[in-house]
Chain A
Amino acid sequence: EIVLTQSPGTLSLSPGDRAALSCRASQSVSSNYLAWYQRKTGQPPRLLVYGASIRATGIPDRFSGSGSGTDFTLTISRLEPEDFAVYYCQQYGTSPVTFGQGTRLEIK
Chain B
Amino acid sequence: QVQLVESGGGLVKPGGSLRLSCAASGYTFSDYYMSWVRQAPGKGLEWVSYISTSATIMYSADSVRGRFTISRDNAKNSLYLQMNSLRAEDTAVYYCARHPYYYDSSNYYKPLYYFDYWGQGTLVTVSS
Contacts and interface: CB of A to CB of B under 8 A. Distances in A.
Contacts of B119: 44
Contacts, number: 50
A88 B47 CA distance: 13
Interface extent on B, as a size class?
Answer: 10 to 19
A47 B44 contact: no
Is chain B's interface secondary structure helix, strand, loop, or mixed overall? loop
Given A44-B95, A44-B119, A44-B121, A99 B114 contact: no
A56 B114 CA distance: 11
Contacts of A88: 44-45
Interface stretch (A14-22, A68-76, A89-97): A89-97
Nearest to A92: B113
A95 B65 CA distance: 14
Nearest to B117: A47
Interface in A50-77: 50, 56
B85 interface: no
A45 B47 contact: no
B109 interface: no
A35 B120 contact: no
Nearest to B100: A50
A99 B118 contact: no
A47 B47 contact: no
Interface of B: 44-47, 59, 61-62, 95, 100, 112-121
Given A37-B115, A95-B59, A96-B47, 15 more contacts: A44-B118, A44-B119, A45-B45, A45-B95, A45-B115, A47-B117, A50-B112, A50-B114, A56-B116, A88-B44, A90-B115, A97-B114, A99-B47, A101-B44, A102-B44
Interface of A: 33, 35, 37, 43-47, 50, 56, 88, 90, 92, 95-102
